[in-house]
Amino acid sequence: MTWGKRRALVIILVIVALVVVVIVASQPARVPSNSVLLLEISGEINEQRAVDFFSAIGGEFIPVQHDFIDALDTAKSDPHIEALVVKIGPLETGWAKLEEIHSHLLAFRASGKPSVCYLGGDGIGNLEYYIASACDKIWLVPTAPVSIHGMMAQAVFLRGMFDKLKIYPDYYHIAEYKTASNQLTEKKFTPAHREEVDSLLHGIYNQYLTEVSKARNMDRAEFEKLVNAGPLSADDALAGKLVDRLAYWDQVQDFAKEKTKDWNPVKLGRYRGRIKNDGSTRIAVVHATGLIVSGESGNAPGGGAIMGSETVAADLRRAREDSSIKAIVLRVDSGGGSAVASEVIRREVVLAKAVKPVVVSMSDVAASGGYWIAMSANKIVADPDTITASIGVLGGKFNVSGLYEMLGLSTDSIATSDNATIYSAQQNFTPAQQKLIQKSLQDVYTSFTKGVAEGRGMSVEAVDKIGKGRVWTGAQGKDLGLVDELGDLNRAVEVAKQLAKIPADERVRIVRFPEEKTFLQMWIEKRNDDDSARFSSIEAAVERLTGAGAYNTPQARVPFDLQIR
Using alpha carbons, select from 356, 276, 314 the residue that is nearest to residue 80. 276
Q: What is the mean pLDDT of residues 57-63?
A: 70
Residue 325 lies in a domain: yes
pLDDT at residue number 564: 74
Q: What are the φ and ψ backbone dihedral angles of 15, each rounded to 5 degrees?
A: -65, -45
Structure letter (DSSP) for residue 168: E
The answer, yes or no, to whether residue 528 has pLDDT greater than 50, is no
For 519, the enclosing helix (H) or strand (E) is helix 519-525
Residue of 309, 368, 390, 401 with catalytic role: 368
Q: Indicate whether 3 belongs to any domain.
A: no
Domain count, the chain: 2
The model scores a pTM over 0.75:
yes
How many residues are present in the chain?
Answer: 565
Residue-wise pLDDT tens digits, 425-450 = 999 999 999 999 999 999 999 999 99
Question: Among 48-62, 239-253, 335-349, 452-466, whose mean pLDDT is lowest?
Answer: 48-62
Q: How confident is the model at residue 180 (pLDDT cuts 50, 70, 90)?
A: confident
Instruction: Tell whether 200 is covered by a domain.
Output: no
DSSP string across 308-352: EHHHHHHHHHHHHH-TTEEEEEEEEEE-EEEHHHHHHHHHHHHHH
Domain membership flag for residue 199: no
Q: Clarify whether residues 332 and 451 are in a common domain.
A: yes
Instruction: Clarify whether residues 142 and 288 are in a common domain.
Output: no
* pLDDT over 80 (residue 552): no
For residues 104 and 236, state if they share a domain: yes
What mean pLDDT, rounded, does the chain reach?
A: 89
Give residue 437's pLDDT.
95
The predicted pLDDT at position 562 comes to: 62
Q: Are residues 352 and 391 in the same domain?
A: yes
Residues 489 and 509 in one domain: yes
For range 496-512, the mean pLDDT? 96
Q: Is residue 310 over pLDDT 50?
A: yes
Mean pLDDT computed over 14-39 = 65
pLDDT in tens, 18-27: 544 444 444 4
- 307 and 267 in a common domain: no
Please indicate whether residue 26 is annotated as part of the active site: no
pLDDT of 427:
95
Inter-residue contact 99 to 364 (CB < 8 Å): no
For residues 506 and 510, give the distance between their C-alpha atoms in angstroms, rounded to a whole number: 13
Note whether 243 and 317 are same-domain residues: no
Helix (H, G, I), strand (E, B) or coil at 131: helix
Domain identity same for 262 and 369: no
What is the domain range of residue 126? 26-149+230-274
- What distance, in Å, lies between the first and last C-alpha atoms of the chain? 63
Q: Specify whether 249 is located in the same domain as 332.
A: no
In the predicted structure, residue 530 carries a pLDDT above the cut 50: no
CB-based contact 381:357 (threshold 8 Å): no
**In the listed set 216, 241, 274, which residue is the last one of a domain according to the structure?**
274
261 C-beta neighbours (distance < 10 Å), count:
10
Q: Does residue 138 have a pLDDT over 70?
A: yes
- Number of H helices and number of E strands within the chain? 22, 23
Domain boundary among 215, 244, 274: 274
Q: Does the residue 376 lie in any domain?
A: yes
Question: Which of 145-154, 206-215, 275-284: highest mean pLDDT?
Answer: 206-215
CA atoms within 13 Å, Cβ hemisphere of 152: 6
At 357, the pLDDT band (50, 70, 90 cuts) reads: very high
Same domain, 505 and 451: yes
- Give the percent of the chain with pLDDT over 90: 76
At residue 464, the pLDDT reads 97
Weakest mean pLDDT among 59-68, 163-172, 241-250, 549-558: 549-558
361 and 479 belong to one structural domain: yes
Per-residue pLDDT, 516? 73
- Of residues 304 and 38, more confidence is placed in 38
Statement to judge: residues 311 and 452 lie in one domain: yes
User: Do 101 and 524 touch, CB atoms closer than 8 A?
Assistant: no
Q: Is residue 417 part of a domain?
A: yes
Residue 327, SS3 per DSSP: strand
* Backbone angles phi and psi of 246, in degrees to 5: -95, 120
Establish if 177 belongs to a structural domain.
no
Q: In this structure, is residue 1 part of a structural domain?
A: no
Least confident range from 23-27, 130-134, 326-330: namely: 23-27
CATH number at residue 374: 3.90.226.10
